[in-house]
Amino acid sequence: MIEPDKRKAAYLLSEGGMGTREIARRLGLSRNSVREIIRQRGEILAATAREKTRIDPELLRRLHEECGGWKQRIYEKLLEEEGVKVTYSTLTRILRKLGIGRERKVRCDRVADVPGAEMQHDTTVYTVELGGKPRKVIASLLYLRYSKRRYLRFYTSFNRFKMKCFLHEALIYWGHAAPVCIIDNTNLARLRGTGKDAVIVPEMERFAKQYGFQFVCHEKGHANRKAGEERSFWTVETNFLPGRRFRDIEDLGEQGFQWATDRMYQRPLAKSRLIPAAAFEHERAYLKELSPHLPAPYVVHERGTDQYGYAAFGSNFYWVPGTGRDQVRVLEYSDRLKIYRRGELLVEYALVGQGVTNHCFSPEGFPKPQREPKNRKHPTAQEEKRLRAMGEAVGAYLDFALKPKGNERHRFLRELFRLALQMTPALYLKTLERALKYRIATIETLRRIAVMYLSEEVETLPSVEVDESLKERDAYVEGCLTDLPDLSSYDDILEASDG
């Protein structure tokens, strides 16, 4: 292909009076090419392919609808019913050209980075080692498009309430909000529809109104509409998570918060060398300023007070001040609980970390309740740990016997531990070895096995030394002076059984 500049030069030289041979020699072209360029006046004429086969577009659209979009069937119907002779490759090319059967890829608009225009929110899932064990965690991230400021938190589960808590926490921390929050089409804030036709959940719409913004879903297939958010997740995966260790989900959350709000906030970004802290100072004037006294989101739970004065919540028990057993309302916030009775705030508790269950809590400054809930669970982790420490035989038996779950498991473990306290270690190990051999998992049978071993080892009963001074004790003397008991009733029973 001859470059446009060279074609233009050849035409201009020809217009200046230079011959075809000389133009060809100077520009390194053939004389035929120079003649063609002059004929085309130096322009590149668009090549037009000749369409040998013409098919009515309306016919193709009708057949496409009748055949459910299957091109092979359209091809057969054209040949057999319509008498149109066409090759299959030509048919598919015509269908593509007419846009039948496939969505045209529409270009998305390029949105400029305008100060204070929008923020973006999304979540993603990572597999992270917590305490040496891999666990799936959900990262929630809020991103300001112009200043590139981030706010990051991690959760083991994520729902609509936690989304509201996260956004409240992030926006109050920033002290400002953008008028638009871009989300994807699977977000918890979307009720139905996609893109501009998406309908936001009324609850989330009311929530956003308090902070002066609205949720907007990007068009389907245009995830790059929130490319800054997606890039932020990539940065989390490649910069934050590698080389760091986390004890638990709380430690992961604290490190992620420090990384996003301090380290990345002061760090120059990519080629632009933009520093989010400096950019946010400029963007602050364009954002909506928020009051620090905006109420935090909460969920109301109705609870009863048991006979010991506790209200159950989240696998734990919280003491309710007072002497009655009234119904109370437990307000769950992101980090605390508030217990109300008939509109009066009774007590407030800090939410405990994950993994804390079956605990009783009472507020500071109040006397500790004397009794605990009757339905409180009593775990047997300590009993199992002490039993396994006795030897491999005990551990092997526990692996076999502890198949039941729930109450049956805990009851069996307690009885097994109580049995260990009633025997010598050697006898206990022999008993469990035999029980494992014959697949026995009942306490009564274990007792009989232990008795059998005792009877085999002990042929005669050991003699017992009796203190002769026993008869001189006051209790013995007093007992000697009492009347003998009347055992005649037992004789009647024995006679009746013999008869």
Helix, strand, coil in percent for the chain, rounding step 5: 45, 15, 40
Does some domain include residue 304? yes
Q: Report the CATH number at residue 209.
A: 3.30.420.10
165 and 270 fall within a common domain = yes
Q: How far is CA 258 from CA 130, 195, 266, 334, 478, in A?
A: 18, 34, 11, 19, 82
142 and 259 fall within a common domain = yes
Does some domain include residue 386? no
180 and 253 fall within a common domain = yes
Do β-strands 190-192 and 133-144 pair in parallel, antiparallel, or remain unpaired?
unpaired
- Helical pair 407-421 and 443-457, crossing angle rounded to 10 deg: 20
Distance CA 169, CA 209 (A): 16
Distance CA 334, CA 247 (A): 21
How many domains would you assign to the chain? 4
Does some domain include residue 419? no
Last residue of a domain, one of 235, 258, 289: 289
Does some domain include residue 61? yes
**Contacts of the segment 418-425: beta carbons below 8 A, 24+ positions apart:** 419/443, 419/446, 419/447, 419/450, 420/387, 420/390, 423/450, 425/390
Q: In this structure, how many other beta carbons lie within 10 angstroms of the beta carbon of residue 237? A: 13
283 and 144 fall within a common domain = yes
138 and 232 fall within a common domain = yes
3-class secondary structure, 278: helix
Last residue of a domain, one of 312, 341, 361: 361
* Nearest one of 142, 152, 143 to 255, comparing CA atoms: 152
Does some domain include residue 430? no
Local confidence pLDDT in tens for the 499 residues of the chain? 688 888 888 888 888 888 999 888 888 889 898 888 888 888 876 554 455 667 888 888 888 888 888 888 888 888 888 888 888 988 888 888 888 876 555 555 555 678 888 999 999 999 999 988 899 999 999 999 889 999 999 999 999 999 999 999 999 999 999 999 999 887 888 888 888 888 999 999 999 999 999 999 988 777 777 777 888 888 898 889 888 899 989 999 999 999 999 998 898 887 778 899 999 999 989 999 998 888 899 999 999 988 888 888 888 889 888 888 889 999 999 889 999 988 888 888 988 877 788 888 888 777 666 666 555 566 778 888 888 888 888 889 988 888 755 557 888 888 888 899 888 888 999 999 999 988 888 889 999 998 888 887 654 545 556 677 777 777 776 766 666 666 666 666 656 655 5
User: How is residue 162 written in tokens?
Assistant: 């936690």
260 and 325 fall within a common domain = no
322 and 351 fall within a common domain = yes
**416 residue type, one letter:** L
Does some domain include residue 32? yes
218 and 266 fall within a common domain = yes
131 and 263 fall within a common domain = yes
12 and 138 fall within a common domain = no
Is the pTM higher than 0.85? The answer reads no
129 and 22 fall within a common domain = no
Last residue of a domain, one of 237, 255, 289: 289
Domain that holds residue 35: 4-39
357 and 212 fall within a common domain = no
Do β-strands 180-183 and 214-217 pair in parallel, antiparallel, or remain unpaired?
parallel
Does some domain include residue 167? yes
Does some domain include residue 80? yes
Q: In this structure, how many other beta carbons lie within 10 angstroms of the beta carbon of residue 434? A: 17
